[in-house]
Structures are given as C-alpha cells and as structure tokens.
C-alpha cells in the first residue's frame, strides 16, 4: 500500500484517498464542444512523473495534486490542488 503525505494531515495510507483524475487545465465554460470532449475523454498515458488529483476522503477532505511516477508508483510531490492551475 502506498503512503501519501497529506499537505494538511501528514502521512496517510492510500486507502484514505480517492483518485479523481489527471491534473489538467479545465476548459472555460464557454469553450467549444471539442475542448470539452478532449477534457472529458482523452487522457495522457505518460511513462514517468504524472500529476493527478486525489481527494483525502477519510481525513481533511481536501483535494491534493500528487505527482506520482507511473512505473514505480513513487510519490514525487504533494501539493494542495487549490494552488494549482485548473483546480477541480
């Protein structure tokens, strides 16, 4: 089981968190259909570090941006999603 170092609560087990989606900029509300289709259905599949949004459901309930390596699952960094661009 992975350990995530919650920015607000400290180190916690991955089972306390829920994966939301990759950290991507949300299109403007008046963006065209193509922009929204890309946001909803197309996902990056990188080999290496990848930013994701996770919610700490069994703790502070905050959304965190977790930078995780997709091959090793090593957590490279954790930041509050509020400070990130395109916050959920």
Helix/strand/coil for 55? strand
Q: How far is residue 8's CA from residue 62's CA, in Å, rounded to a whole number?
A: 8
Distance of CA 57 to the CA centre of its chain: 13
- Count of beta carbons in the 10 Å neighbourhood of residue 46: 12
Q: Where are the beta strands (DSSP E) in 1-88?
A: 3-6, 10-13, 17-22, 49-56, 63-69, 75-80
Does the structural domain 3-83 have CATH classification 3.30.2270.10? yes
pLDDT by residue, tens only, the chain of 88 residues: 789 999 899 999 999 999 998 888 889 999 999 999 999 898 878 899 999 999 999 999 999 999 999 899 899 999 998 765 554 5
CA angle 8, 9, 14 (to 5 degrees): 110
């Amino acid at each position: 089981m992975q350990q995530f170092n919650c920015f607000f609560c400290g180190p916690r087990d991955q089972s306390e968190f829920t994966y939301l989606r990759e950290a991507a900029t949300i299109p403007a509300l008046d963006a065209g259909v193509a922009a929204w289709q890309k946001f909803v259905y197309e996902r990056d599949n990188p080999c290496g570090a990848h930013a994701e949004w996770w919610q700490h459901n069994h703790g502070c309930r905050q959304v965190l941006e977790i930078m995780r390596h997709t091959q090793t699952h090593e957590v490279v960094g954790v930041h509050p999603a509020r400070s990130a661009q395109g916050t959920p």
